[in-house]
Amino acid sequence: MKHDAVWLNLRLCAGGDVDDTLDDAAIAVEAGQIAWLGARAELPARFAALPRHDLAGRWVTPGLIDCHTHLVYGGQRADEFALRLAGASYEDIARAGGGIVSSVRATRAASEDELFAQAAGRLKPLLAEGVCAIEIKSGYGLDLASEAKMLRVARRLGQAYDLTVRTTFLGAHALPPEYAGRADDYIELVCSDMLPALAAEGLVDAVDVFCEKIGFSLAQTERVFAAAQALGLPVKVHSEQLSNLGGTALAARYQALSADHLEFLDEAGVIAMREAGTVAVLLPGAYYFIRETQLPPMALLRQHGVPMAIATDSNPGTSPATSLLLMLNMACTLFRLTVREALLGVTQHAARALGLQATHGQLAVGRRADFVAWDVTTLAELAYWLGRNPAYQIVRGGLIQPESKPA
């Protein structure tokens, strides 16, 4: 199918930078890619015969990118949330068979079709807010068959919704029950069996590790990074969320795409990120949900010029979020980001966190035609509203999506 049309009478923020915009612009799309964009008065005559869509002066930005999610898993953990509110500790819940073990149990028990249906329900609100690219991690299977099942579902979601999906293998997310007390043996399984098999199936775009005292040590994390590097796969890391273990600096030595969470990151880690070109992915949903009080080192990240992305961290235990727009507000209110930083964090910088900076996160000739028209008078509204979705028209691959509002 040819995706050829012109969108005109729009206010353009082509790079996701609120300080770089163009009034009365137009976008021409051919074969699902941007063929031209600029001032409407300069629209080339060769596009005159294409179908036209008048956006009546609405703002247009690149499609949004959610660069850190755990969208595929079985069940949910709302009852555990209620127990915590009633005074139960995490240890109490874990001893009763809850926590991540309950998500692993539900994920292993679910069929691929069941996981797809559950994940699709979580994906649809994100699509309705203009998310056009997303990262989906594994990590709730913790055995080869279940991790493969999760990653296949992630691929299916991309195909079903014409959505760019980057899959990340997070086998080193937690220790499965059958490996209790044998973390090194499990990491050997991850490196020698699981990762090579999943990569051979073409299911892995990047490799992640939860490097933390309750996760995996620096030495274990490095074993996974080395195995990924040997397979030519980029790495990412969950690090410095609960303590300063040094996982971020280690990941930077492996030229990590991103380091995520970062509440306890120090200046040495920030400098390592800058030198490696590693993106800082901030996850305000998890910060809020677990009632963290230690803020990420925003001043240091700014001082050293480390790009900052924002994501939902959508997961059943610490961030059951299905709204990236809400994360914009949280990033601004909790982390004190500016509107400019926040919007760049779900466009340009989020694309870089996924290794997609050449194709996503900005609108330019030759790039995939993923963009959103917004019913707002100022782009600050994207980070302002709580519970209101101002997306008017969502375009992925040059096609107006069913999530768009009726004309």
Q: Is 173 annotated as a binding residue?
A: yes
CB environment 103-123: b (16+ within 10 A), e (fewer): bbbbbbebeeeebbebbbebb
Ordered mean pLDDT values, 10 residues apiece, the chain (407 residues): 86 97 98 97 96 97 98 95 86 77 95 98 98 98 98 98 97 95 97 98 98 95 98 98 96 98 98 98 96 96 98 97 98 98 98 97 98 98 97 97 80
* DSSP designation for 212: S
282 and 390 in one domain? Answer: no
179 and 217 in one domain? Answer: yes
324 and 372 in one domain? Answer: no
| Terminal Cα-to-Cα distance of the chain (whole angstroms) | 23
367 and 347 in one domain? Answer: no
Note whether residue 154 is domain-resident.
yes
Model pLDDT, residue 406:
66
383 and 289 in one domain? Answer: no
Note whether residue 358 is domain-resident.
no
368 and 332 in one domain? Answer: no
69 and 164 in one domain? Answer: yes
Domain that holds residue 109: 64-353
367 and 219 in one domain? Answer: no
11 and 104 in one domain? Answer: no
Note whether residue 77 is domain-resident.
yes
Residue 280 to residue 297: CA distance in whole angstroms: 10
Note whether residue 406 is domain-resident.
no
Q: Is 9 annotated as a binding residue?
A: no
CB environment 168-187: b (16+ within 10 A), e (fewer): bbbbbbbbbeebeeeeeebb
Which residue has 């892995």 as its token pair?
A: 204
Q: Is 3 annotated as a binding residue?
A: no
Note whether residue 24 is domain-resident.
yes
Give the domain CATH number at 53.
2.30.40.10
95 and 140 in one domain? Answer: yes
At 224, the amino acid letter reads: V
Model pLDDT, residue 2:
58
Model pLDDT, residue 358:
96
Residue 149 to residue 146: CA distance in whole angstroms: 5
Q: Is 73 annotated as a binding residue?
A: no
Q: Is 70 annotated as a binding residue?
A: yes
Note whether residue 407 is domain-resident.
no
114 phi, psi to nearest 5 deg: -65, -40
Per DSSP bridges, beta strands 22-30 and 33-39 are antiparallel
379 and 256 in one domain? Answer: no
Note whether residue 384 is domain-resident.
yes
Residue 144 to residue 189: CA distance in whole angstroms: 9
Q: Is 254 annotated as a binding residue?
A: no
Q: Is 349 annotated as a binding residue?
A: no
Query: What is the longest distance spanned by two Cα atoms in the chain?
Result: 69
Give the domain CATH number at 255.
3.20.20.140
Model pLDDT, residue 1:
44
Which residue has 């009034």 as its token pair?
A: 23
At 317, the amino acid letter reads: G
Note whether residue 152 is domain-resident.
yes
DSSP string computed for 261-276: E-TT--HHHHHHHHHH
Domain count, the chain: 2
At 71, the amino acid letter reads: L
246 and 206 in one domain? Answer: yes
